[in-house]
Amino acid sequence: MIRRIRIWACAALLAPLAAHATPLTVYAAMGYDQAAVDAFTRATGIAVNLVHLSTGPLLARVQAEGARPQWDVLWFDGNLAMHQFASEHRLACGWTPQVRYSAQGRALQPSDHCYVPVGVTYTGAMLVDTARLPAAARPHGWADLLAPALRGKVGMDNPAISGPTYPLVAGVLQAMGDAAGKRYFDSLKRNGLRVYPTNSVTLRALQFGQIDVALVQSSAALGFARGRPQLQVLMPQPTTLLPSDLAIGAQVRGAQLKQARRFIEFVLSPQGQRALQHGDPAADSNYVPLVAGVAPLPAAAALHAGRAVALSPTQWGPREGAVDSWFTTHVVR
């Protein structure tokens, strides 16, 4: 009898380990994703295989894997690509985590519940070097970027490489109208617009005086301005909402599906939100939470986004390839 009890006890101790034997694979492009994963594993004992890439390469990897996905959970900025993946039946739909969303969070939930909103940043924040630009020359709106005083002094990311930059371009096209928006970007190019691959490169160009105005994601602008009092973050009107979203792969089943849902619920919990807000204070932690009762970091709370528009994933998701191609041909080259 004693021997049987010992065997049963050992089996009971090993059961949780067996349940977590297969790590949860998360493909993510968030600056705080490692902090979130570490906190989740400490809280639950569930191992996570994190693949961290910038948004553009991450989306390309998902596309390349096609019908043989190697991921369980996706996490990146931009619901346009999420909507596209949902329309291609790559995502598990119909589930909503038990979380008390803010009004904005509820508004950003997709009707098919194929992905889950986590937070919001804004595209097209203007990070201005006030030490090099006198007050009269500083831009406050989109038209100001065409001024002769800013010729060759404005930089932005390439939307074909930087995933969060496509919503910036789409937002301008929506606000101005497609034809007028494209003429606007043509005018920016004639005024010496400089296009860099990603936020980090654009911000280095600003740091070393190659440009005086950087058009980047608001979280990156706020983080880069920390400790640099000469840098000022200005928000043109209108600006475009950029939600960050989590999704589970349509191929995920059984125990792995339960773990994936548990990860999403953890990210949206107070404990998970703390991990996000402490994980990347120099960039992505400067987001606006969508969970009721969770306040943004002070820098994000002080940001005056003004009139922010939400792009329709149904309208702008399918257009991403064509718009990126147009931008490459007419603006980058």
Supply the pLDDT for residue 229: 94
**79, 313 in Cβ contact below 8 A?**
yes
For residue 103, pLDDT over 70 is answered with: yes
Where does the pLDDT of residue 307 fall: very low under 50, low under 70, confident under 90, or very high at 90 and above?
confident
Supply the pLDDT for residue 91: 98
DSSP character for 238?
S
The residues with which 242 forms a beta bridge, in sequence order, are: 121
Supply the pLDDT for residue 21: 63
For residue 12, pLDDT over 60 is answered with: no
Supply the pLDDT for residue 6: 39
> Among residues of the chain, what percentage have pLDDT more than 70?
94
Supply the pLDDT for residue 145: 97
What's the rounded Cα separation, in Å, for the pair 148 and 146? 7
Q: Beta strands of 124-193 (E only): which ranges?
A: 125-129, 154-157
Of 48-57, 288-297, 300-309, the least confident: 300-309
pLDDT tens, 110-120?
A: 999 999 999 99
Q: Is the dihedral of CA 240, 198, 156, 300 positive or negative?
A: positive
For residue 207, pLDDT over 80 is answered with: yes
What's the rounded Cα separation, in Å, for the pair 91 and 7? 41
Q: In this structure, what token pair is assigned to residue 238?
A: 């209108």
Nearest one of 65, 6, 75, 94 to 35, comparing CA atoms? 75
H/E run at residue 69: none
What's the rounded Cα separation, in Å, for the pair 61 and 267? 23
CB-count burial class (<10 Å; 0-12, 13-18, 19+) for 7: exposed
Per the prediction, the chain carries an average pLDDT of 92
Nearest one of 111, 114, 177 to 142, comparing CA atoms? 177
| Phi/psi of residue 306, nearest 5 degrees | 65, -135
Where does the pLDDT of residue 20 fall: very low under 50, low under 70, confident under 90, or very high at 90 and above?
low
What's the rounded Cα separation, in Å, for the pair 187 and 172? 13
Peptide bond into 57 cis (omega under 30): no
What's the rounded Cα separation, in Å, for the pair 277 and 253? 31
| Phi/psi of residue 117, nearest 5 degrees | -70, 140
Question: Mean of the pLDDT values across residues 282-303?
Answer: 95
Supply the pLDDT for residue 4: 40
Supply the pLDDT for residue 152: 97
How many other C-beta atoms can be found within 10 angstroms of the C-beta atom of residue 82?
Answer: 26
pLDDT tens, 160-193?
A: 998 889 999 999 999 999 999 999 999 999 999 9
CB-count burial class (<10 Å; 0-12, 13-18, 19+) for 44: middle
Domains observed in the chain: 2-122+242-301 (3.40.190.10), 123-240+308-332 (3.40.190.10)
Please indicate, yes or no, whether the overall pTM of this predicted structure exceeds 0.85. Answer: yes
pLDDT tens, 239-252?
A: 999 999 999 999 99
pLDDT tens, 196-206?
A: 999 999 999 99
Residues written for the chain = 333
- Angle in degrees, CA 67, 263, 105, rounded to 5: 95
For residue 9, pLDDT over 60 is answered with: no
pLDDT tens, 131-152?
A: 999 999 999 999 999 999 999 9
CA-to-CA dists, residue 199 to 1, 159, 217, angstroms:
66, 11, 8
For residue 19, pLDDT over 90 is answered with: no
Supply the pLDDT for residue 333: 86
